[in-house]
């Protein structure tokens, strides 16, 4: 299972074929580390590296049950009172076919951007599921942390926010059922901002954190 | 200048010689990415990799001045009312010669662990300076985020906390003068915890964030 995954985004990916090359960096008793690079091909046939990832893996099932937390699941309406595409909610600008694979319902309090009335707060909240109804697993959490619209929309900024770096920590195997995602931005400066995502499962456990 | 640095810790370093090997991953117009590995030598002379780092660099001086933030500097006493070694404050367990190079004064509210009375909150706060009086710079911020005692001490946990992964984001060039560091842990689960550090400069700007 992934425990800690750090990705640096090098160049903008385009839809189409890609090659991923992997390397085992270290194999340990409880934790092992690997590296991967995703390549695509330029017009002249040369390889262009898109993303490079360092990741540490372990076995979530072997971890002790102890939890000490001050983190609480986000306060947001039931799934039925959140907004998805079938509720006339706006499509995420710039999004592509990938959103058809997802079942995202946004907290109405964080979709002001869609009607030209952003809250001015760097927050985004929603329910996350996979469109085919599959339950979440540790690997799918890596998608969950990065699937909501950017908090910058609620800060009143338009345009896409390219990612420089994304690190995700997986904390336990998620229980079946829909996930809640809360993303906050504390600080925007010099054209860069951080997004802190927390993912909660149906058993109210914090299953993933990312920045 | 470092913008975003992700380090995965592979094996425990020991005091002594080390070799660092670097690789340029991508050179871009505004951002460039590199990779580095730190090696030490085993008793049989073979190399052992200690840390592998992916890092994205740019020029902080070219960034626009815009700041939108809800983040506030930590509430803590003046430097003179915080506790350093000369105030009889305890040495950080397990710490070595490196602490002699630092000038750290801890908020009394977060040193309960030193007298067997941890607060139970996952918080650590303090003033940070370099012992030789040098002003902070973007590179020294990478040390600042990791220099305070672990928040686990205030959670009542003893023993050292090995680091799996540490990502640091540098947000601007720090103003001269002492820095304030605030570290919080929202969630401990399965024997792993996150530490979120924020570093503030003398001009009240958030200059670095790490997890």
Domains delineated in chain A = 1-59 (3.10.129.10), 74-211 (2.40.160.210)
A173 by Cβ neighbours in 10 Å (0-12 / 13-18 / 19+) ranks as middle
CA-based nearest distance A100→chain B, Å: 32
Residue in chain A closest to B155 (alpha carbons) equals A68
Q: Give which of A72, A58, A192, A149 is closest to B190, Cα–Cα.
A: A58
Q: Which of A3, A5, A6, A29 to mutate to test the interface with B (most CBs of B within 10 A)?
A: A6
More confident residue, A85 or B33: B33
CA A167, CA B75: separation in Å to the nearest integer? 28
Q: Mean of the per-residue pLDDT values for chain A? A: 92
Q: How confident is the model at residue A96 (pLDDT cuts 50, 70, 90)?
A: low
Give the Cα separation of B91 and B99 in Å (integer).
Answer: 9
pLDDT digits over B83-116, tens only? 987 776 666 665 667 788 899 999 999 999 888 8
Residue A145: the pLDDT is 97
Q: Would you call A68 and B190 a contact, using CB atoms and an 8 Å cutoff?
A: no
Residue A125 has pLDDT above 80, yes or no: yes
Q: Residue B57: list chain A partners with CB under 8 A.
A: none
What pLDDT score was predicted for residue A108? 93
B56 compared with A156, residue with greater pLDDT: B56
State yes or no: pLDDT of A86 exceeds 90.
no
- DSSP 8-state class, residue A68: E
pLDDT for res A187: 92
Task: Give the span between the Cα atoms of A143 and A164, in whole angstroms.
Answer: 16
* Residue closest to A163 by CA, chosen among A118, A132, A197, A135: A197
pLDDT of residue A89: 61
Beta bridge partners, B41, equal B47
B192–A54: do the CB atoms touch at under 8 Å? no
For residue A131, the cross-strand partners are none
Interface confidence (ipTM) of the complex: 0.92
The mean per-residue pLDDT over the stretch B45-63 comes to 96
């Amino acid at each position: 299972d992934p425990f800690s995954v750090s990705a640096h985004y090098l160049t903008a990916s385009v839809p189409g074929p890609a090659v991923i090359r992997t390397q085992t960096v270290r194999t340990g008793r409880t934790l092992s580390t690997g590296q991967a690079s995703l390549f695509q091909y330029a017009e002249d046939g040369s390889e262009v590296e898109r993303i490079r990832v360092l990741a540490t893996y372990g076995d979530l099932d072997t971890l002790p049950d102890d939890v000490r937390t001050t983190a609480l699941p986000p306060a947001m309406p039931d799934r039925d009172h959140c907004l998805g595409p079938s509720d006339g909610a706006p499509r995420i600008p710039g999004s592509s076919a990938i959103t058809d694979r997802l079942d995202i319902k946004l907290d109405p309090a964080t979709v002001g951007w869609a009607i030209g009335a952003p809250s001015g707060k760097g927050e985004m909240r929603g329910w996350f599921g996979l469109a085919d109804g599959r339950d979440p697993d540790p690997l799918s959490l890596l998608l969950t942390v990065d699937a909501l619209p950017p908090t910058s929309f609620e800060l009143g900024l338009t345009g896409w926010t390219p990612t420089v770096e994304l690190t995700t920590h997986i904390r336990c195997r998620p229980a079946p059922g829909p996930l809640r995602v809360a993303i906050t931005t504390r600080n925007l400066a010099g054209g860069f901002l951080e997004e802190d995502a927390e993912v909660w499962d149906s058993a109210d456990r914090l299953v993933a954190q990312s920045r």
